[in-house]
Amino acid sequence: MMETLLDAFPTLALLAWEPPGWGANLMRGLGNSLQIALGAYALGLLIGTFGAFGKLHGGPVTRDLLAIYTTVVRAVPELVLILILYFAVTDLVNQGMVAMGYARVQVSGVAAGIAVLGVVQGAYSVEVIRGAIMAVPAGQLEAAKAMGMPPLKTAWRITLPLMLSNAIPGLANLWLIATKDTALLAIVGFAELTLQTRQAASSTKAFLTFFLAAGILYLLVTLLSGVIFGRIEKWARRGQRNHGAGQ
Amino acid sequence: MSQSDTPKFWQTHRIVLAMFGAAIVVLCVLFLRWDWLPKYLPLIGEGIWRTLWLLAVTSVLGFLLAIPLGLAQAAGPWYLAGPARVFCTVIRGTPLLLQLWLLYYGLGSLFPQFPAIRQSELWPYLRQAWPYAVFALTISFAGYEGEVMRGAFKGVAGGQLEAARAMGMPRLTILRRIWLPLAIQRALPTLGGETVLQLKATPLVATITVVDIYAVASRVRQDTFIVYEPLLLLAVVYMVITGLIVLAFRWFENRVPSRVA
């Protein structure tokens, strides 16, 4: 079976793990991609949570600044933002280091990637979480207030659990966007899956084999994420009525 | 929206913010280097035109492709619904950059091996980059919008279709007169967002040598070693186009009656 497959498509041997094959490189790239996606997603959620509360309960200046942030970031292509932020972040860090009397440093690709994609993710998360919070029934919050719950406790015990089930579908989408946006870091030369694939492909000339293999890897990540988020949504919706079958 | 209780837009803090923003713009104009701008202006115009052209062509073609994709998933037999679902999943599950490179480098390296293709009349086009760009962006838009159209077709109230059937309307006429218009109306609010996403996907074609506005900015950066100014210009250009798209769809949505009496 394996033999006949290899005879029919000799380039498949290039996917082997050991050095004539490039399998290890691809998997390293996938690891990098997932690492950045996880970091950026976490940073985005952090920005999103604070941003959403700021947009809903902040003062007029906070709200306007947040509106500018979400509007600008969502209107400019990720690729352009990545370049701007990548150059700007590297520049700022270096100027800071020089000002403090240290030598210039090379900002690590992972850190820069997480920072840049996190800022992009944050803008989308703010909107998703804000929408989810707004969908929390006002009666629940009034009840909490009537019981004399302090605001932070209300946020933790009432708003967060109730908004979670509304937010999960949007957040699942954002996670998928995060995994796919890591591919854009290939443009700034970061060795994630897409760039590793391209390097492997152009040095072996087996373009179709490698790009299809990388596509399958991305697809597996997507499908697996779908299953996991389905589970999480089911858990977040526990005890709710009229929300059948994860719709 | 947050200021619905106070209809006045120009409150004190907003005036301060606007002055602050204006000051930043003035500082950018005065202290950043813009001397390269006149020389590259024709190229920038061409780049913007190509970006808009790509956006318009791929969105329209993608939407036309999305209608059968959505219909097949919403109401088709399994042998149509299955492939449509797989197509949408694959397109939505892999990065566009990878799809683009797969098509351009993968197919592009495969095609010359077949003499039949090299002798065909399509060959002069297949040697260029833009057909791959158009194709990749089109199927990407179709994949995302196909999913939206599936929901839109499914969401059309059953009574409307039953009424049409009860009047003895043929199936194709029902689709053309009742089902499709109602589905498009339901999909319209998301269509604007999808178009903005499509705009934001267009700069990827610069990686396969199509010269859009992003590629022009990269070229300025490489030619003159000026880093921030071309990128800022690029951001402004994209923001303006996004604003125009949003305004156009808002105008269009207002023209379409949202509630039938």
ipTM here: 0.82
Tell me what percent of the residues of chain B surpass a pLDDT of 90: 34
Q: Which of A11-15, A44-48, B99-103, B232-236 has the lowest mean pLDDT?
A: A11-15
Indicate whether A201 pLDDT > 70: yes
| Chain B CA closest to residue A195 | B98
| Chain B CA closest to residue A221 | B93
Collapsed DSSP state (helix, strand, coil) of residue A137: coil
Contacts 24+ apart (CB under 8 A), B3-10: B3/A60
pLDDT averaged over chain B? 86
| Identity of the residue numbered A102 | Y
Contact B99 A78 (CB under 8 A): no
Domains of chain A: 23-237 (1.10.3720.10)
> So what's the pLDDT on residue A242?
56
B49-80: burial string, b at 16+ Cβ within 10 Å, e else: ebbbebbeebbebbbebbbebbbbbbebeeee
> So what's the pLDDT on residue A204?
82
For B45-61, what is each residue's pLDDT tens digit? 999 999 999 999 999 99
CB contact at 8 A, A132 and A167: yes
Residue ranges per structural domain of chain B: 36-255
Instruction: Report residue B256: phi and psi, to 5°.
Output: -85, 120
CB contact at 8 A, A46 and A154: no
For A25-83, what is each residue's pLDDT tens digit? 888 889 889 999 999 999 999 999 999 989 888 888 888 899 989 988 888 998 888 88
For A128-176, what is each residue's pLDDT tens digit? 999 898 888 889 989 999 999 998 898 888 888 888 888 888 899 899 9
Select from A81, A117, A211 the residue whose CB has the most chain B CBs within 10 Å, as the one to mutate to test that interface: A211
Instruction: Report residue A101: phi and psi, to 5°.
Output: 90, 15
B17 burial level (CB within 10 Å; 0-12, 13-18, 19+): middle
Q: Which CATH architecture has domain B36-255?
A: Orthogonal Bundle (1.10)
Average pLDDT on B15-20 reads 86
d(CA B76, CA B74): 6
How many CA atoms within 13 Å lie on the side-chain side of B175? 11
Confidence of residue B240 (pLDDT cuts 50, 70, 90): very high
| Chain B CA closest to residue A185 | B97
User: Cβ contacts (< 8 Å) between A207 and chain B: which residues?
Assistant: 101-102, 105-106, 108-110
pTM listed for this prediction: 0.85
Tell me what percent of the residues of chain A surpass a pLDDT of 70: 89
DSSP assigned state of A158: I
User: Cβ contacts (< 8 Å) between B202 and chain A: which residues?
Assistant: 77
The Cα angle at residue B185 between residues A128 and B52, in degrees rounded to 5? 75
Q: Which residue has the higher pLDDT, A2 or B138?
A: B138
Indicate whether A93 pLDDT > 60: yes
Contact B214 A222 (CB under 8 A): no
